[in-house]
Amino acid sequence: MQSKDNVSAIKSRLNIVDIVRRYVRLERKGARWTAPCPFHQETKPSFTVDEAQGLFYCFGCQASGDIFEFYGRVNGLTFKESLEQLAIEAGINLERKNLLSDAREQKKRSGKQQMLRMNRFAAEYFSRALHTPEGEECRAYIATRGITEEMSQAFKLGWAGREWDSLAKALHKAGFNAGIAVEAGLLGQSDKGRLYDRFRGRLIFPISSLSNQIVAFGGRSIAGEDTEEAKYINTQETPLYTKGEHLFGLAQARRGITTKDRALLTEGYMDVLTLHQFGYDNAVGVLGTALTQTQVKRLSGFTSHVTLLFDGDRAGRKAAFRTCEMLLTRGLSCRVALLPDGRDIDDFLRNEGVGAFENLKAAAPDGLRYCLDVLRALAPRETVEWTRGFLRRVELPELLSPYITQLAAHLQLSETVLREGAAAWRSAQKTAGKKQKTEPAQTRQNMRDRQIMMYAIRYPGRLTDLRRLGADMALQSPIAKHLWDKIEEHGEEAVRYFDERETNFWFHCRGAEAPPRDNGDNELNSLCNALDNYYIFTQKSSVSAALRENTTTGDFKSDLDYLRALQETLGKIDEQYQRDSADTNAY
């Protein structure tokens, strides 16, 4: 179990708002911050951060929790991994004996941490190598591309020398584990067991996460075009790096994207650098793969507007078409700016100038119009199949209607048929996705537990009043009892120890949509009446059960005693009913 002292210390040093704004564009709304949710797609921000409580909550997908839950969820980390990484940021040393007890988990954690340190070491090694005499040829190449020293440092560019094992030797000298270096993608190993550098004779582009940790590298060959080696190579998938999860330059571009409320999405490392060089600090790259849903989710945390800057050749047009599909079905708006065939961004900006580039962007069609233009070249059957598939992939129901109207009008398809088809498919999906209800309907006991715990969360300082009413003894479900124990132990600070379900309930009771907490006495009286009813009905059930059991014994005196008790209980029920009716009429 993690040390509560460590958790509290980290939370006291790190502001959840500072962590969250790395991944989404936060705006203050009164006492809270709001943003588009990074965990699901939406058109209206429903994600909120309560800075004072150190919690986040999404009214759309119900994701909730504290700084550890957010950091772990957005980065795909376990709680233990989140704890360790945030502890480093907070400058807190964790007690290893309490951090991980399982040997395999400890080995896994140690391996990841070594990889991060190796990557940081390698990035510094490559950067130093760029400024040595051996790095002259790489510096000359960078100069021909017009990249300034300031930009080179901003993106931490480096040089991997041509020797077979220079980095391998440096890692060994620094005491790093060679096997982990191979697993991290920095080194390769021959069939004979010889270690060698994977990146040789290449301009190095470190790939950073939004936490500014280097998770991978890209390398561009600076040899002539006649060479047979690949122009670009990237780190293979590792425990730190999964292809399709990161965008090159997003760590550097997130502020520009937030400020401009638009991202420029391009294909290559050099394209991103050139755009930043010319002042387009909202440019990011897809790292040589087709855009993925994870990358779209990363982008949508900062903006819902994207301009695609792809080559105008056949491959570029095809990539733009697929990227448009991905963005549109996820609810983002996009425009498509294709460069003239045979030109790249670097060449276009340097030769045509910023004015021509601005004109190119201004003339870019929106994403759906671009898709429609491509579809006109397809056979009618292919067009219909694409349209059906596209509508089925649309995640936001509110986008279906306008999409159907535009598709039907421009592709000369029946709008009625498209609407009926989309409705039938969604209905079938909804039916297929329904799970058989295995739990009974919510009982009065569930409702009573909920009512008690709602008051306990809204007014944790009044648990004494609840105990006086016997509320703690009336709780039946283990979940409610466990929640009561947390509130009893931690009071107002209990929310820091809630799990996701408990945090959701906290937001329901005390969030922005909850009633103000200024009517505690009346709420307590209402709960008191509910508990009185509970005790009276419990007594009635007990007396009735005892009477039924006693009738088989022939003890008529006991029967009369039970009947009198039952009559007295029924009288109390009638009195309670009269009081409830009077209260209702008073309103």
Same domain, 95 and 170: no
Residue 156 is assigned to a structural domain of this protein: yes
Same domain, 325 and 361: yes
Residue 397, both tokens: 């129901």
pLDDT, position 43: 66
Same domain, 368 and 480: no
Same domain, 318 and 256: yes
The residues of the chain scoring below 70 in pLDDT are 1-4, 41, 43, 76, 95-110, 224-227, 432-445, 512-513, 534-587
CA–centroid distance for 2 within its chain: 23
Same domain, 71 and 116: no
Q: Give 434's DSSP letter.
A: P
Q: Give 235's DSSP letter.
A: P
DSSP states of 191-206: TT--EEES--SEEEEE
Parallel/antiparallel/unpaired status of strands 305-310 and 333-338? parallel
Parallel/antiparallel/unpaired status of strands 187-189 and 158-160? unpaired
In three-state form (DSSP H/G/I as H, E/B as E, the rest C), the secondary structure along 477-519 is CHHHHHHHHHHHHHHHHHHHHCCHHHHHHHHHHHCCCCCCCCC
pLDDT, position 336: 96
**In contact, 509 and 454? CB cutoff 8 Å:** yes
CATH of the domain at 355: 3.40.1360.10
pLDDT, position 120: 95
Residue 133 is assigned to a structural domain of this protein: yes
For residue 75, the enclosing domain spans 4-99
d(CA 30, CA 464): 33
Residue 414 is assigned to a structural domain of this protein: no
d(CA 565, CA 574): 14
Closest CA to 266 of 199, 162, 360: 360
For CA atoms 368, 343, 254, 257, give the dihedral sign. Answer: negative
CATH of the domain at 58: 3.90.580.10
Same domain, 513 and 552: yes
Q: What is the pTM of this model?
A: 0.67
Closest CA to 147 of 309, 275, 247: 275
Same domain, 127 and 228: yes
Q: How far is CA 438 from CA 343, 446, 477, 479, 549, in A?
A: 61, 16, 17, 18, 33
Residue 55 is assigned to a structural domain of this protein: yes
Same domain, 137 and 269: no
Of 99, 133, 162, which residue sits at a domain end? 99
CATH of the domain at 166: 3.90.980.10
**In contact, 265 and 286? CB cutoff 8 Å:** yes
Q: How many domains, the chain?
A: 4
Residue 176 is assigned to a structural domain of this protein: yes
Residue 384 is assigned to a structural domain of this protein: no
Residue 467 is assigned to a structural domain of this protein: yes
Same domain, 124 and 154: yes
For 24-35, write each residue's pLDDT tens digit.
Answer: 889 888 878 998
Of 335, 350, 377, which residue sits at a domain end? 377
Same domain, 334 and 456: no
Of 35, 64, 99, which residue sits at a domain end? 99
Residues with Cβ within 8 Å of residue 190, at least 6 apart in sequence: 196
The alpha-carbon radius of gyration of the chain (Å, integer) is: 32
Same domain, 224 and 136: yes
Please provide residue 156's backbone torsions phi and psi, each rounded to the nearest 5 degrees.
55, 40
Same domain, 457 and 577: yes
For 392-439, write each residue's pLDDT tens digit.
Answer: 888 888 888 899 999 988 888 888 888 888 888 877 777 765 544 444
Residue 427 is assigned to a structural domain of this protein: no
Please provide residue 203's backbone torsions phi and psi, each rounded to the nearest 5 degrees.
-75, 130
d(CA 264, CA 491): 48
Helix (H) or strand (E) segment spanning residue 215: strand 214-221
**In contact, 211 and 22? CB cutoff 8 Å:** yes
**In contact, 225 and 205? CB cutoff 8 Å:** no
